[in-house]
A and B are shown apart, each in its own frame.
Chain A
Amino acid sequence: MTVWGALGERGYLRSAWPWRAAAYLLSGALFGALVLVAVLGGLVVGGALAVLVIGLPLLGLTALAGIPVAAVERHRLRLAGLGPVPARHRTPGAPGLPAWLATRLREPATWRELAYAVLLGTLLWPLDALAVACAAGGPLALLAVPALFAADGEAKAVKLWTVHSWPAACAVAALGVVLLAAGAYALGGYAGARAELARVLLGAGDDGDRVTELVRSRVRLVDAFEAERRRIERDLHDGAQQRLVALSMTLGLARLDAPPGPLADQLARAHDEAGRALAELRELIHGIHPQVLTDYGLRAAVADAADRSPVPVDLALDLPGRLPRPVESAAYFVVCEALANIAKHSGARRARVRGGHTDGRLVLEIGDDGHGGADPAGGSGLTGLADRVSVLDGRLSLSSPPGGPTLLRVEIPCRPTDPCG
């Protein structure tokens, strides 16, 4: 609930909100005045000492004055019902003061906060004070008229006209009550606007930067994951696979020389084991990163996945050559996961993979004639793949009513990298 929201509620006047609005503005006025003194002091002392060099760091510190001011202001926003508003500063890349200073001085949030501090010290706090004076001070002065009249025999209402009789004094007091109520609303309205201004300047403005930074780091994470898979694939290929082939070759040659008997039998068994290990390693390497995807692209890799599927797959994929590597990779793993799920859970007799590149998007549809009811959250690998697709600004959607059919659709915006392919 914010002060603006409370304005529309019944019982606003009886609630704590008028008091909170007044407290917000009064504390703002006091704090603003303090900021003015501190900043001016810093500038004057720093300027005076600048000739002695020692003043320069002081001037620099003044530039950072926005940071504590903003911290207090963000805290105060809670009085107006806005908040908590988190600071939008970045975390310094390294511990220590130099890194902290470097980060703070380079990010826009620091300068925006300094601008806010200047605005607060020069314009906002007098406005806050004025608002409280008009909306609360004036009506309270009118309310005080009967008391003053009782004490002195006459009273001046807001220094404008003189009250000589009790009825007049009571009328003025009644006007004071009405104006006080109106003032409470005005105070709430102004405090809300004032808090909104502070929130926009000190918080939300950096959301764009923050989101951009998050998106970038997510892309980097996926890239790193992808690069790591390729590295593992390469290491296995260059290392274990070559050695196993050499071992198998040596065993094969040894079998040629071995006289028939127990030794030859043992060699034959060892040779067969080496062959099986090679076959398993080949499948493992293919699962980690299919080289056919790198060498021949999405169509060949999907055709291969379809070949391997225990459920027969109808394939209709029309692509204009090669697509960007992360797109091919994400799309390929979506198809693999979908075909694996179809084989495991759907009870389908046929599956189909259809797709193409239209209007700047890669669109793939993987469907089956199974019993449906697939749950994307039910531990299938699809959630992770949906994340991967969304990193590429793509979308993954699943339609699987009970009774079927199941249709998985993936769309990724991309441009062909090599149209002749």
Chain B
Amino acid sequence: MPADRPLRIVLAEDSVLLREGLTGLLTRFGHQVAAAVGDAEALVTAVAEHDPDVVVTDVRMPPGLHDEGLRAAVELRAERPGLPVLVLSQYVQRAYAAELLDSGDGTGVGYLLKDRVGQVEEFVTALAEVAAGGTVVDPEVVRQLLRRRRDPLARLTPREREVLALVAEGRSNGAIARALVVSEAAVGKHIGSILTKLDLPPADDTHRRVLAVLAFLRA
């Protein structure tokens, strides 16, 4: 099944099994995997060589098996502002997602748990969203964040927290309105109220949404 917009992808994943599986999956959806590499250094080289539309990388990769993949992603975004990066991770911990979203201006990034590649269609949708400049945070990470009952999120009403969670998952105002069965105008109002309560400066809509998600991750 062809994608609406075929993407040229550089993939970094140290497990051969998953590297091949992901390559097959992405190809099947009409994307082109320009390079599939197994460590962070090769990722940086491959990006320089292929200039992809989007990078998909694992967090934990050789040589140190720590967070080399994430470091490379942050580095790549510093070198090439606006390069969309989707990071696949095994960790629900928000520190990783926060660091990734902090890189660049926070647009065109995604942080998904590896489990999500099993939800094939959701995964491919999220990838397209990131490639188009959206911000996507894994629903499980968002759920974890919502369990917290600390300031400043404590100031939000339950409905506002719901809206913020959906914003963090990368949904548009329209999608959020459909999910919560309210009007789009109501969603816009909720987002405005969230931003005020989180003491976020006025900015254009996309940027404000990213700031809200960041505030959410850091709180």
Hey, which chain B residues are within 8 Å of A253, CB to CB? 24-25, 28, 120
Question: Measured between C-beta atoms, what is the minimum distance from B88 to chain A in Å?
Answer: 9
Query: In the bound complex, how far is the Cα of B90 from the Cα of A274, in angstroms?
Result: 15
Whether the Cβ atoms of A242 and B17 lie closer than 8 Å is yes
Q: How many A-B residue pairs have CB under 8 A?
A: 101
What is the interface size of chain A, counting residues whose CB is below 8 A from a CB of the partner? 41
Among the stretches A80-88, A94-102, A290-298, the one at the interface with B is: A290-298
Instruction: Check A252/B118 contact, CB under 8 A, given A245-B18, A295-B95.
Output: yes
User: Per a CB cutoff under 8 Å, which of B17, B93, B115 touches A275?
Assistant: B115
Residues of chain B within 8 A (CB-CB) of A296 are 93, 95-96
- Check: B117 CB closer than 8 A to any chain A CB: yes
**A interface secondary structure, majority:** helix
**In the assembled complex, how far is the CB of residue A245 from the closest CB belonging to chain B, in whole angstroms?**
5
A72 at the interface (CB under 8 A from B): no
Given known contacts A275-B115, A278-B115, A291-B60, is B18 in contact with A246 (CB within 8 Å)? yes
Interface size class of B (residues with CB under 8 A): 20 to 34
| B93, A300: Cβ atoms closer than 8 Å | yes
Contacts A245-B118, A295-B67 given; does A282 touch B25 at CB 8 Å: no
Answer yes or no: B147 CB below 8 A from chain A CBs: yes
The residues in B between 115 and 147 inclusive whose CB is less than 8 angstroms from any CB of A are 115, 117-121, 140, 144-145, 147
Select one of B114, B120, B144 contacting A245, CB under 8 A. Answer: B114
Query: What CA separation (Å) do A347 and B150 show in the bound complex?
Result: 19
Q: Which residues of chain A are within 8 angstroms of B115 by Cβ–Cβ distance?
A: 245, 248, 275, 278-279, 282
- Out of A241, A248, A303, A308, name the residue touching B117 (CB < 8 Å): A248
The contact of B147 among A243, A275, A303, A308, by CB within 8 Å, is A308
**Looking across the interface, which residue of chain A has its beta carbon closest to that of B147?**
A307
Q: Are A246 and B21 in contact (CB under 8 A)?
A: yes
Bitwise, B162-200 to A at CB < 8 A (1) or not (0) is: 000000000000000000000000000000000000000
Is there contact, CB below 8 Å, between B15 and A238?
A: yes
A313 near B150 with CB under 8 A, answer yes
Closest B residue by C-beta to A314: B150
Q: Verify if A237 is at the interface (C-beta below 8 Å from B).
A: yes
> Which residues of B lie under 8 Å from residue A285 when comparing CB positions?
90
- CB-contact partner of A242 in B15, B95, B113, B147, under 8 A: B15
Q: Select one of B22, B95, B150 contacting A304, CB under 8 A.
A: B95
CB of B48 within 8 Å of the partner chain: no
A218 in the interface (beta carbon within 8 A): no
Residue of B nearest to A279 (CB): B115
Contacts of B91 in A (CB 8 A): 286, 291-292
A252 adjacent to B119 (CB under 8 Å): yes
Of the candidates A241, A282, A312, which one forms a contact with B150 in the assembled complex, judged by CB atoms under 8 Å apart? A312
B60 and A248 form a contact (CB under 8 A): no
In the bound assembly, the distance between CA atoms of A124 and B147 in angstroms comes to: 77
Q: Which of B21, B67, B121 has the most CB of A within 10 A?
A: B21
A13 smallest CB distance to B (angstroms) = 77
| A residues less than 8 Å from B147 (CB atoms) | 307-308
A248 CB → nearest B CB, Å: 3
Chain A residues positioned under 8 Å from B114 (CB to CB): 241, 245, 278
Q: Does A271 contact B (CB under 8 A)?
A: yes
A274: chain B residues at CB < 8 Å are 118
A145 to nearest B CB, angstroms? 93
Pairwise interchain contact B148-A307, C-beta atoms closer than 8 A: yes
Show the binding face of A for B, using Cβ within 8 Å: 234, 237-238, 241-243, 245-246, 248-253, 255-256, 271, 274-275, 278-279, 282, 285-286, 290-292, 294-296, 300-301, 303-304, 306-308, 312-315
Task: List 14 A-B pairs, Cβ < 8 Å.
Answer: A237-B90, A241-B114, A248-B115, A248-B118, A249-B18, A255-B120, A275-B115, A282-B115, A291-B93, A300-B93, A304-B94, A306-B148, A307-B148, A312-B150
